[in-house]
Amino acid sequence: MIHNQTDQIASKYLGKKTDGSETYDASLLVPIPRCENRAQYNIDSQNLPFSGWDVWHAYEFSALTENGLPVTRVLKLKYNCESEFLIESKSLKLYLNSFNMTRMGETTAKCLAICKQKIEQDLSEKLNTEVEANFLDNNVERTEIFNNFQNIRDFVDEDCLKIENFKEAPELLNTKELADQKNFYLKFDSLRSNCRVTHQPDFGDIFIYYKSKKQILEESLVKYLCSFRSEYHFHEECCEMIFKRLSNILDKDDELFVCALYTRRGGIDICPARWSRNCLIEDAFLLLDTAKFARNGIKQ
């Protein structure tokens, strides 16, 4: 089964003790094919129903100058969801850690320039797509985004809400017809899914925007998002699954945007975003010189 093959690839380091490398080592990177999970949810990789990016923040990147001076920065990465592969997160951590004791460049600036060039080249070759990277200054202001999204729990009576499904259940979603199109900006701050290999929990906030004459009933949406609590998928897969389920119940030309800002684990967070081709995304999310502000992210 392809599913087992994917898990086997992903488990090269996940759930296993490994020492990594004390010197720069690009061979540590493990690419994971996206196709298996997409096929399971009838997402055609050759004709994706969305655009989007995977954005990563590595908060603990460090290397050395040739004089042995430590250089530490936040690293921001992004690559397009149209790529055949995604990068396995523990392999990325091991790869980035391999820079820790590696001497590169006479000055801090030269060290960062060399690291940036190597990271973009290595990841682009592994994923067979263009990967962009940038180091954020340690004093950079974290950018709070999606300020106009309202917590979906404000629209439901939690005392009367009964949650019973904890495996992904799209049948929970219900809509009602409206007289005119309306914009909806919703946030759910209690998303939980689980790593498909280690089964460790992943927490995050999910942001959903849609413009439609159909209103997704908020109570049904809360129940649906809660149903991921016992699902085992990569972050990117969860985002795509949610997008696909919502697009299935909306009209074909409706605008839809789904973004998951996951809490960092092991010094790295993964923030996938998917949107319909007629929908725009906030610039702050994709700019490589800013760091987004997540619920449990670093504040300075």
pLDDT, one tens digit for every residue, the chain (300 residues): 345 677 666 566 555 567 668 899 999 999 999 998 899 889 999 999 999 999 999 999 999 999 999 999 999 999 999 999 999 999 999 999 999 999 999 999 999 999 999 999 999 999 999 999 999 876 655 566 788 899 999 999 988 899 999 999 999 999 999 999 999 999 999 999 998 888 889 999 999 999 999 999 999 999 999 999 999 999 999 999 999 999 999 999 999 999 999 988 888 999 999 999 777 665 666 767 666 654 433 322
Domains of the chain (ranges; CATH) run: 2-142 (3.30.1130.10), 144-292 (3.30.1130.10)
- Is 202 assigned a catalytic role? yes
| pLDDT for the residue 298 | 31
| pLDDT for the residue 13 | 55
User: 201: which DSSP letter?
Assistant: E
Residue type, position 146, single letter: F
Adjacent-strand bridge partners of 61: 73
| pLDDT for the residue 37 | 87
| pLDDT for the residue 115 | 98
Active-site choice (81, 111, 122, 202): 202
Active-site choice (81, 111, 195, 271): 195
* Tokens read off for 288: 């490589």
- Is 111 assigned a catalytic role? no
Contacts of 249 (CB under 8 A, 6+ apart): 173, 175, 214, 216
| pLDDT for the residue 300 | 25
In the block, residue with structure tokens 């180091």: 135
Count Cβ atoms within 10 A of the Cβ of residue 56 and give its class: 0-12 exposed, 13-18 middle, 19 or more buried: buried
Taking a C-beta distance cutoff of 8 angstroms, is the pair 291, 283 a contact? no
| pLDDT for the residue 7 | 66
| pLDDT for the residue 197 | 83
* Tokens read off for 79: 């690559």
Contacts of 21 (CB under 8 A, 6+ apart): 28, 94, 97, 98
